[in-house]
Each structure stands twice: as structure tokens, then as C-alpha cells.
Chains A and B, each alone.
Chain A
């Protein structure tokens, strides 16, 4: 559908580290929320709608998001909602709220602190609870099935996967929110690594991180008042594929393809003509699937931040992609950017957000 209201990202704040030790989610989010609001001179009282994303399974606590409300400063009471999803989907909910026209600003945030547990095992509990989860397949092993399929179908080579890993690590140099970077890593170095889940080597797998992200959205003239060069959301869509790994063609991500085509049609933008794309790819093989499936052009710079491969904060990595892409427009003068978020095993659920500077 054609958005009835122009909505833009007007400020972003990101913080990611290998492990937040001795810091609660509330302590993590207070400075990030303040930074995002302060950058555009807003207080919580100026925010029309607040929406967040997080997971109780990471916090190890039921209703864990209730605590984080304290970081927002929710008194006087606020209009607020929460999704048990990556923050990119919270941003989508806020975008919908802004479409209805009753509010002009929204605060979106999400966070994840996976370091206290074993994420590769925790993610097994995302799988079909009757037939798959009882087997406790680690997340990297599930992703390796997909990567093996890609390699054996000849859709990608091991060298190409290594090239994706190298690009991520080199791009991540200088990004303070990347936790894995290297200025001089080479394809041969990656190819020499011992696989963790054959064929996936350590550099093929996103490095886990703890962290959070906060974004302020604003509509129309309000966005122009708050920000010299807002990152306008011209198209945003999300879709989901079937859950059963055996019921889908794992060498593709149809839901990502569909979300991209719907967003592109709404935005009236050609995906092949973008300046940058920030992809939420938990493995190099999934990044290869996305680059092909989304239809990115050769001139598009992929993951200038290093992408999720350089720091994958579960529940926030998708929102961080939107923040990184928006920041390139707001601060660095990029014109057309794509941000992508994923959830579930083997790219089951995908969101695509297309933004422009004009």
C-alpha cells in the first residue's frame, strides 16, 4: 500500500559490545534512549508512541521488558507497546501508528543480552516444539544444512562465502559497534579456518554481541523540523515463510524477496539502484541468499558497517541495520538505502525497509 504519511528516521543510537558484564538491560538502555531523544531535542513527554522489542528467553525472566520500561521514564504514563520480536518489527508497529495520523513522533528501541547463556542452544527452542526442538539442534548446525544445500546446488562457492566474511571484517574496521573486524584478513585466512558446523567456519558465522539500539521516528514537517536530512521510509514490508525446514527451499528466502518487492513498489525505487544495503545475515551463506534474492545491484555497497556478521545482537540486530542505513543518509549524504531484518531459523521471517534522503 502507498503510505499516506511520510515518516522518517530522525535520530539513532547504537551500542554493541562482546559481552555486557555487570550491566543490566536498564543500565544499557538509559544512555541510548537519552542519546536518541537528545539528538533531536525531545523529551519522553514529546514522544507520541513508544514501541520496543526484546526476548524473555534471553533475559531468562518472564515479563523482562517490564523492567526496561524504567529506562524510558514512563511517568506520566505513555502510549506504549512491546513486541517479542527484533526491534525492526517494533519500528514497523510504530510506523503503522504514525500512519493513523494521531501522533507525529515515535521512540523505538530494542536490546539483547545473550552472553549469559549459550545462544546456539537457546535458539533451538525457537523450533517446532514437538518434532524439532526436542532434538536440540544448535543454531549453527541448522544454518549449516542450508549452507551445504547452497554449495551443493552450485549457487555459491566456498570462496564466495569467504569473500563475504572478509568484506564484513574489513568494513567493520572503524565501526565502534562492531565486535569483529580486521583490516587485512584475506580469503585464504578464512578458508584455512576449521569449520564449526561444516561447511560454516567461524568467520562464516555472525559473532554474537550484547547491546541495544534506539531510534526516533517523526512524520512529515515534524521530521523536517527535527533533522536537517531525515531518512525517509519510502517502503517497508515484512513477510514470513513456513517454519518446517523440510517444507521450504532453503536455498532461497521467498519472504525476503516478497518483502523487498512490495517495499520497492511502494517506494517506487529499483532495488538494483541503491547506494547501500545493511543486511541482517547471521551467516555468510544467508547473506549470499539475500544479495541474490533481494536483487541488489553491483553498485550497491553491502554492509558498510560490517553488518550483523560483525556484531549480531539478537533482538536488536535488525533495528541496528535500520539505524546504520539511516545514519548513512542523515550524516553521510547517502541517497538510497535498504535495511533488512530477519528472525527465525534459516531466514524464515524477513523485513525490508527502504529509505531515501530526499
Chain B
């Protein structure tokens, strides 16, 4: 029994910003969903099922908010699933939606990720005291900075590679109207001189907190063929998870990441990712994760990912493997949507619909998300051609 072919028919995004005080949570998700439907040339009644994802419910203080959002997402009388897999959730949500089509269960599925961080306080949500454990209140940056230092030590990367990634992504963001951060006057020196938050992570090398939603409509082969505009075909899709803490775990380059990428490339028939993938949207909440994931996914040799950054290989202008042309998580971070934005931006690239941040002639794109203690992974390869 073969999987059914699956296509991205439409993409919809809200503007990402600190506070969307003009809309409720329902208004926010509906805005993205409607835009995805319009992009796909479909109506609410064309949607068979909805798959929604977001990060912890404490981020808005609403328990299982999909119950309340059912009306706004037009799914009264339809099935709705709610995915939660830590920071990778936006990617995982898209993959669950894809599996509904691949499994032949539904023909057209609306999938959406959102976060409205302004409704609550993420630092409070992440710092609730737990019995029998000491809270270090270090935030995500405090968790990842030792891992980054380990990467720097073992790869011999120069100190300013992270700043180069951050500056590049903020430049890219200027070409994406939906991006949260539009820092027109930012200079590289300002990135370098920003306050050090969690050594070696500067304030300028971290992601913002955003409100926003991103939606996609996925369809089966017939729906893909019937679409008026270009679609993005799913060539490979996989999720992997591994335990967080055990002796010998490679936290810099987790095996779950390597396994997940290998599975996706196998499905897509890709043997040389660097030359066969045209554009990458990867989950980089802290700048140094760009070279780290370049290595882990297989775009660079071990300890050599930083050289791609240094050479400008990941820049939209002149790079052979542009990474995060949308500005990435470093420029917009509605957490529950951040993974889906990566998947959706990959789809936009191969549909030729990425606007000012389009990579000319992109045929195959890689979408990536990770979460937890770098232990949850979701990835896909989408292409302009039917697989």
C-alpha cells in the first residue's frame, strides 16, 4: 500500500508582531486560515478536517484552546486534531495533516499553527515550580548556550559566526512583509555590540516573542492537479524524537536530527542535499543553530557548517544554499506557528510565490523544525514537480 501523493495548495500568514491587540485568538487564526483558503482558491466547505498546533497552553492560559477555536476555524461538524510536540509543533502539525492525506483518510485538510504570546507571559509559563525539581529559571537561551559553547569548542568556529547568521536573517526579514523584526538601520557592529544574554548568545542573536498564525491547505493528488495556481508537492516527511537526558547523548548533533533528515532525504530520493536542495527554511531560534543544523541535516560536513556561514553560502544574495530567506525564527517567533512557517515558506519557494525573498528557480526546498531540549524533530522536502 503506497502513500497517497500530497500537495500544498495554499498558504496563509498573519503579520507577525509583538501584540495583535486588534484581534482575539479566534480572529488571529481565522485571518491566517482565510488567507490560506483564498490562496488555494477554496472555500471553508472544501475542507474535510482541521489539524491545529500550538506550544504550551499556558502561553495563553487557555486549556485546549482548539475547543473554543472550532467555530472560528469552520470545523463545526468536522474532525479537528490538536498537536503539541514542543517547539517543533508547527512542523509536526503540518506532518499530521499531511498524514491524513497520505493515509487516504481525507482529500483536503486545513492545518494551522498559532501563538498569541501577548495574552499571557511565556517566562511565567515556563517557570511554574515543580515538586522535587529545582527551577533554574534560565529560559531557553540558558538551556542552549552550553550546547552552543560545546559546538564552538569542537568545531573551532570563530566567535562571530552567530552574529553573521543573525545579521543575515534580519537582512532577509526586510524582504518579507510578514516578518516581525524590520530593522532597516541595523549594522553588523550593532549585532556584535548587543548585550550578552547567555554567553555566547547576545540579545541580537535571539528570537523575538511574537503573536501570529500560519496556515496551509493540503490536498491529495486530484486536488493538487485541480489547483489553479502552482502547488508544492510533498517529496518526503518525517518526525523523530529522542530522550532528553542520558549519558553519552550528543546534544550538539542529536541522533534524532540525523535520523530524521536521512529518512526525509531517502523518501525524496536525495543523495547530495547541498546540491539537490535549492533553499532551506530551518528552525534557528538562536543564531548558532544555523551552522549546527547545517551539519546535522547533512548540508555540511561535521564541524564545517560555520564555514558555509562565513562564506555567505546561506545568504539569499549569492549563496548557493540560501537559508531562512523569510528572516527565520530570528525575525518572527509565534512559537506554535514558527515550525509551520518554515514548512510553509519552503512551499512558497517552490511555488515561486515568495515575493521579494524568492530564490530564483527554486525547485526543491527543505522545511525544518525542532523542539524540547533539541530532541523533537519534524522535517519535509517539498518540490515543484510531482514526486
Contacts and interface: CB of A to CB of B under 8 A. Distances in A.
Interface magnitude class on chain A: 35 or more
Counting chain B residues whose Cβ lies within 8 A of the other chain, the interface size class is 35 or more
Interface in B339-377: 372-373, 375-376
Given A100-B102, A344-B64, A93 B81 contact: yes
B71 interface: yes
B3 A63 contact: no
A151 interface: no
B62 A129 contact: yes
A82 B103 contact: no
B123 to A, nearest CB: 11
A80 B63 contact: no
Given A63-B372, A80-B239, A100-B99, A55 B80 contact: no
Contacts of B259: 76-77
Interface stretch (B28-36, B84-92, B172-180, B187-195): B84-92
Given A129-B62, A242-B76, A349-B67, A81 B105 contact: no
B64 A55 contact: yes
Contacts of B76: 240-242
Contacts of A243: 67-71
B256 A77 contact: yes
Contacts of A102: 3
Contacts of A186: none
B111 interface: no
Interface in A46-80: 55-57, 60-63, 65-66, 69-70, 73-80
B242 A74 contact: yes
B1 A4 contact: yes
B79 interface: yes
Nearest to A344: B67
Given A66-B372, A243-B71, A349-B67, A80 B240 contact: yes
A197 B64 CA distance: 24
A96 interface: yes
B387 interface: no
Interface in A297-338: none
Contacts of A1: 104-106
Interface stretch (A84-92, A223-231, A267-275): A84-92
A81 B79 contact: no
Nearest to A98: B103
B25 A129 contact: yes
Contacts of A61: 128, 130
A191 B27 CA distance: 46
B318 interface: no
Interface stretch (B53-61, B145-153, B225-233, B285-293): B53-61
Given A85-B81, A244-B71, A66 B86 contact: yes
A281 interface: no
A129 to B, nearest CB: 5
A60 to B, nearest CB: 6
A258 interface: yes
Interface string A175-214: 0000000000000000000000000000000000000000
B244 interface: yes
Contact of A133 (B56, B59, B62): B62
Interface string B308-338: 0000000000000000000000000000000
B252 to A, nearest CB: 15
A77 B240 contact: yes
A80 B377 CA distance: 9
Nearest to B130: A61
Nearest to A349: B67
A130 to B, nearest CB: 6
A161 to B, nearest CB: 25
Interface string B94-131: 01100110111110000000000001000001101010
27 contacts: A62-B55, A62-B59, A69-B375, A73-B243, A74-B243, A76-B255, A76-B259, A77-B256, A78-B241, A79-B238, A80-B241, A81-B92, A81-B96, A83-B84, A84-B82, A85-B81, A89-B81, A92-B81, A96-B105, A98-B103, A100-B104, A126-B63, A126-B68, A238-B79, A240-B77, A242-B70, A244-B71
Name the 3 nearest CB pairs between A and B, nearest first: A99-B103, A101-B1, A77-B256
Interface of A: 1, 4-5, 55-57, 60-63, 65-66, 69-70, 73-85, 89, 92-93, 96-102, 122-123, 125-130, 133, 237-244, 247, 254-255, 258, 343-345, 348-349
Given A69-B244, A84-B83, A243-B69, 6 more contacts: A55-B64, A62-B125, A79-B238, A79-B241, A83-B82, A127-B68
